[in-house]
Structure 1
Amino acid sequence: MNKLVLALLTIGLLAGCGSKKKHSGKEALTFEDFRQLFTPAKLPYKLTPEALREKSSDSTIISPELMKQFLIDTLGKSDFPEGTVIKFYPLAAIDGANVNYFVVKAVGKATNTAYVCFLDKKGHYLNRLTVAKVDDKADQHYFSIDTRQVIKITNEKELSPGHTATREDFYGVAEDGKTTLIMTNSNGEAAAGQIFNPIDTLAAKHKLSGDYLSGETAIVSIRDGEDPKSFLFFISFTKEKTGCKGELSGTGHYTGANKGEYKDKETSCGIAFQFASGKVSIREIGGCGAYRGVRCFFEGTYSKKK
């Protein structure tokens, strides 16, 4: 009898040691758990407008708690009207050399937008880039990442039936997640006096946001940033007399109530912005020759378009 009892106790003990711990459902997800929500993908990767329009299952929605834990809880707020209910869906996870890329789709009432979120190798959020957008308009924006890990954002804007302006912006991504505009390809202004503005459809709720013009061939476009202290900008100009051109885009930061500044991470280029009475004045505070011709500068005063 004693031997039988001892055998039963031994079997029970071994069974207990070999059992796996069950997940209660209330435990916080690890980064690997979060990663498994995304479809693994390899480079090259492309997200087409058709794929962005596809309806996603609500069972795959990324909860606000997970967004805050692993990404950023303000994602999408600058791209959708205030009060819009935004649903986020995981699309793809891609391992890069320096950073990892997580493609997230944001769905609003009439617009689908995609972001590439950059995370370091330990799973820490670094930055994000708005890379695609489709809505009920003819315009569409989509992207791809090549094997060199260069992000290409393609913007197609219908100017008239059968007449489309296309622009391709190429971005590099640093180890800290900061992005740099490397090159721009464009089929030019499809209509005389019209400048293709890649941030035209982004939110412009800040009092200083808007389009500032100087003639028909120069624009300083300001759009809302991720927070009240930052702003997105696009500058493009062509000097009529010399034909010298310049083009620059990026994220600036407000340094005062009516002042802002941009500093390029890859070069010495810097731009100072001074806002006053419906106008903005810009001037270089570093050499920006990589983004303009040698006979012109990022400078001048632009009036806000009503």
Structure 2
Amino acid sequence: MNKLVLALLTIGLLAGCGSKKKNAGKDTFTFEDFRQLFTQAKLPYKLTPEALREKLPDSVAIPQELMKQFLVDTLGKSDFPEGTVIRFYPLAAIDGAAVNYFVVKAVGKTTSTAYLCFLDKKGHYLNRLAVAKVDEKKDQHYFSIDSRQVVKITNETELSPGHTAIREDFFGVAEDGKTTLIMTNTSGDATASQIFNPIDTLPAKHKLSGDYLSGETSIVSIRDGEDPKSFLFFISFSKDKTGCKGELSGTGHFTGTNKGEYKDKESSCGIAFQFAAGRVSIREIGGCGAYRGVRCFFEGSYSKKK
């Protein structure tokens, strides 16, 4: 029997026998059943843009109930426009030394994104990283994991016909699922307009939403949150003198008319945002070393792009 069909039948039985499930104290559809939905792969592993573009039948899509049970039901929420119907597909399951990796494909109306989900050895979800993206544009974002379990995300941006800028970000993954940017290689300094902004297409109706720039290689992007008191953000910077780089995204909350704050639930990392006259200033209010180099900080003033 098809594994996805079995999953759907199991969910239906659980929905119809809720009280029996509670008494049993154990889900009928186990984590091993969920794991079997994925192709078992080994390191090194690479997901190409062509593989991400490949259309998969709806019959193999992961039901939302299983996403919520074994991964997280908010996967893709901050990377697709509000109201987008997202279908999730299982691509690969890979055993690692510290964590296990699950590659999940998320498909919207015009965009396909891949997430690398980190689970501990007992099958508990830890974290995820957006690692690949293809859409109607010619730009491509794809990834690989080498035998040392270093994750490499490659961003190819077409600057002009026959001229492409390439940026490679290398990440390490800890036992708790936290990722650390190890180094970045580029075929030339990427400008702010060439940086892969995962929230670029999301709504920006709030008066403070927009893209704030500092030089040609640093950006603070602000987008509308789920309610007037919250906002989504993406920060990417590169220091010319030291070569130090950093990148962070998440959901912040307004603490005043022109003030906002972000606190990482998994670490001490925090960012304070101060908005004023078409500018935003940021500063760390906690240690964010997992998201930047050791010789720099999330700080500085950025001007709003018109």
The residue aligned with 1:21 is: none
Asked if 1:59 corresponds to 2:54, the answer is: no
Aligned partners of 2:199 and 2:223 also within 8 Å: no
Distance 2:87 2:37 in 1: 15
Aligned partners of 2:236 and 2:246 also within 8 Å: yes
Q: Do the aligned partners of residues 35 and 237 (structure 1) sit closer, same or farther apart at CA in structure 2, a change above 3 Å counting? A: closer
Q: TM-score, normalised by structure 1?
A: 0.77
The residue aligned with 1:197 is: 195
Q: Which runs of 5+ in 2 are unaligned?
A: 1-8, 15-27
The residue aligned with 1:175 is: 175
Q: Do the aligned partners of residues 232 and 151 (structure 1) sit closer, same or farther apart at CA in structure 2, a change above 3 Å counting? A: farther
Distance 1:254 1:147 in 2: 36
Distance 2:90 2:35 in 1: 9
C-alpha displacement of 1:32: 0.7
**Equivalent AA in structure 1 for residue 248 of structure 2:** G
The residue aligned with 2:4 is: none
The residue aligned with 1:260 is: 261
Identity, in percent, stands at: 68
**Equivalent AA in structure 1 for residue 236 of structure 2:** I
C-alpha displacement of 1:278: 3.4
Matches within 5 A, 1:1-306: 25=10, 26-27=13-14, 28-189=28-189, 196-199=194-197, 202-205=200-203, 207=206, 208-216=208-216, 218-222=218-222, 231-238=232-239, 243-252=241-250, 254=252, 256-257=254-255, 258-261=259-262, 271-284=271-284, 299-306=299-306
Secondary structure in structure 2 of the residue aligned to 1:67 = helix
C-alpha displacement of 1:40: 0.4
**Equivalent AA in structure 2 for residue 236 of structure 1:** F
CA deviations 1:38-71 (Å, max 9, x no partner) are: 0000111000001111111222110111111111
Aligned partners of 1:132 and 1:143 also within 8 Å: yes
Q: Do the aligned partners of residues 30 and 284 (structure 1) sit closer, same or farther apart at CA in structure 2, a change above 3 Å counting? A: closer
Q: How large is the RMSD of aligned CA atoms in angstroms?
A: 3.3
CA deviations 1:94-122 (Å, max 9, x no partner) are: 11112111101111111111111111111
CA deviations 1:149-208 (Å, max 9, x no partner) are: 111110001111011111011111111111111111111137xx6653122664443645
Secondary structure in structure 1 of the residue aligned to 2:281 = strand
- My pick for the range that moved more, 56-65 or 219-228, is 219-228
Distance 1:225 1:184 in 2: 30
C-alpha displacement of 1:37: 0.4
Distance 1:144 1:284 in 2: 31
CA deviations 1:232-274 (Å, max 9, x no partner) are: 43332556xxx454421023553643222467x89x9865432
Q: Do the aligned partners of residues 125 and 200 (structure 1) sit closer, same or farther apart at CA in structure 2, a change above 3 Å counting? A: closer
Distance 1:230 1:43 in 2: 37
Aligned partners of 2:80 and 2:202 also within 8 Å: no
Q: Do the aligned partners of residues 284 and 77 (structure 1) sit closer, same or farther apart at CA in structure 2, a change above 3 Å counting? A: closer
**Equivalent AA in structure 2 for residue 247 of structure 1:** K
Secondary structure in structure 1 of the residue aligned to 2:32 = helix
Q: Do the aligned partners of residues 209 and 146 (structure 1) sit closer, same or farther apart at CA in structure 2, a change above 3 Å counting? A: farther
Aligned partners of 1:159 and 1:165 also within 8 Å: yes
Aligned partners of 2:67 and 2:73 also within 8 Å: yes
Distance 1:248 1:225 in 2: 23
C-alpha displacement of 1:210: 3.0
C-alpha displacement of 1:286: 6.9
Larger radius of gyration: 1
**Equivalent AA in structure 2 for residue 107 of structure 1:** V
Distance 1:154 1:169 in 2: 7
Secondary structure in structure 2 of the residue aligned to 1:122 = coil
Aligned partners of 2:192 and 2:213 also within 8 Å: no
Distance 2:226 2:117 in 1: 13
The residue aligned with 1:5 is: none
**Equivalent AA in structure 2 for residue 138 of structure 1:** K
Q: Do the aligned partners of residues 49 and 213 (structure 1) sit closer, same or farther apart at CA in structure 2, a change above 3 Å counting? A: same
Secondary structure in structure 2 of the residue aligned to 1:121 = coil
Aligned partners of 2:238 and 2:246 also within 8 Å: no
Secondary structure in structure 2 of the residue aligned to 1:142 = strand
Distance 1:209 1:66 in 2: 34
The residue aligned with 2:20 is: none
Work out the number of aligned pairs and report it.
276
Aligned partners of 2:199 and 2:234 also within 8 Å: no
Secondary structure in structure 2 of the residue aligned to 1:68 = helix
